[in-house]
Every structure is written in C-alpha cells, then in structure tokens.
Amino acid sequence: MSTPYQQAQREGQDVVRATILEAAKNLLINEGPAALTVRRIASEVGCSTKVIYTLFGGKDGLSEALWLEGFARLERRLLDVPRDGGPLDRLMAMLAAYRDHALAEPDYYRVMFLGALPGFKAGEEAIRTAKRTFGMLVAGVAACLEAGELAGAEAPEIADLLGMAVHGAVSLEISSYFEEADTSARYRLLCTSVLTPFMTRDGRRT
C-alpha cells in the first residue's frame, strides 16, 4: 500500500508539501509541539527526512510554513466573501467570515495567534506576508470611509479596533470560554458596537 508521501508524489510537489503540513498539524493537535520533529513527521508521511529538509529547511522552516498556511487559508476565506450590498455590508460579512474560519480551523488559529508553537518566531518576510490579511480589513474599512458610511478616524485605526475586538472574542470562543448558545449574536453585537461611533447617517441601519 502506498504511503501518503508516495500518493502525493504522483500529484506534484505542491501536494507533497500540503501532505507534510497536514501531518505536522495533526501531530501538533494530537500529541503537542514536542512531537514536531523532522524524523517523526517523515515517519508519519512515509518519506525521508531529506525531503522535509529540502522543502522546508528543517523544523523551524516547517513551523513557519504551518504559520503561513494558517494565514493563507484565512486569506482565501476572506477573498470568498460575497461582494453583495454596500461596503459596510461587505465589511460585516468579512468580520463574520473571520470568526467562521477560526471556528472551522481552530488548530491553525492557535498556531497563528495563540502560541501553539512555543519558541517559534516568524521571519520578517513571513510577517509581511501574514500582514496581507490585516491589509484586507484595512481596505474594507477604507471602502466604508470612501462611501461615507464611516467617518471620524483613519482606516488603520478603525481596523485596529476591529482586529483587537474580533481576535479577543474568537480566542475566547475557541478556548471554550463561552457556554451560551448565542455566541454568534454576541459577536455581531460586538462588531456593531465597535463600528457605531464611526457610523454616519448613511452607514446606520434603520
């Protein structure tokens, strides 16, 4: 029977890379960060350690790749937000998509934001790549300002406030802090509360 590596080989290097990242993620979830050794991951996938060193440069490179994969998945989810309605509608949909994605892939969220990889520190280039996702939020706020639906502050400032709010809420939720069944409604209320001081007459809903 073929190993996961042999199966992935038939589909190309991108699939090999994705298969190794998936194995690393599963080890992190099931056994913790101590299990993330090159030898153990290679054993899980059924490849040589040389393959992992070639693709990722070792454990540090693999950790960074896991971190970046989390941001890439979030970015794809945000790009899938429908462009229906006005800019404020799209911004709210983007904020909802952020939460939905975090709840759907909490393990990647923990890698990205909650220190699931102790001692890991992303490189400068990786950080610039990851910040593209925040740039999407800034762009969404900027569109609301341009349309006259929000006013009173610069886009990065409003986006910072939104980012702080949604990150705190989502982090608590995936850590099972809340037991209430209306978490979704509370999340919407939180986002609206942050934006309300900046809403213009055009931006307010009646």
Query: Measured between alpha carbons, how far is 18 from 4 in angstroms, rounded to an integer?
Result: 11
Note the pTM of the prediction, 2 decimals.
0.82
Query: Measured between alpha carbons, how far is 71 from 111 in angstroms, rounded to an integer?
Result: 10
The answer to whether 108 touches 70, Cβ cutoff 8 Å, is yes
Phi-psi region of 61 (alpha: psi -120 to 50; beta: other; left: phi over 0): alpha
As a whole number of Å, the end-to-end CA separation of the chain is: 62
Query: Partners of 199 in the beta sheet?
Result: 150
Average pLDDT over residues 41-53: 89
Q: Which domains does the chain have, with CATH numbers?
A: 1-57 (1.10.10.60), 64-206 (1.10.357.10)
Whether pLDDT at 9 is above 80:
no
Query: What confidence category does residue 205 fall into, taking pLDDT thresholds of 50, 70 and 90?
Result: very low
Query: Phi, psi at residue 39, to the nearest 5°?
Result: -65, -45
Provide DSSP, the chain: ---HHHHHHTT-HHHHHHHHHHHHHHHHHHH-GGG--HHHHHHHHT--HHHHHHHHSSHHHHHHHHHHHHHHHHHHHHHTS---S-HHHHHHHHHHHHHHHHHHSHHHHHHHHS--STT----HHHHHHHHHHHHHHHHHHHHHHHTTSB-SS-HHHHHHHHHHHHHHHHHHHHTT----TTHHHHHHHHHHHHHGGGB-TTT---
Query: Measured between alpha carbons, how far is 4 from 125 in angstroms, rounded to an integer?
Result: 30
Q: What is the pLDDT of residues 154-166, one digit of tens each?
A: 999 999 999 999 9
Query: What confidence category does residue 2 fall into, taking pLDDT thresholds of 50, 70 and 90?
Result: low
**Residue 35 pLDDT:** 86
**Residue 4 pLDDT:** 61
Query: What confidence category does residue 206 fall into, taking pLDDT thresholds of 50, 70 and 90?
Result: very low
Average pLDDT over residues 160-184: 87
Average pLDDT over residues 34-45: 89
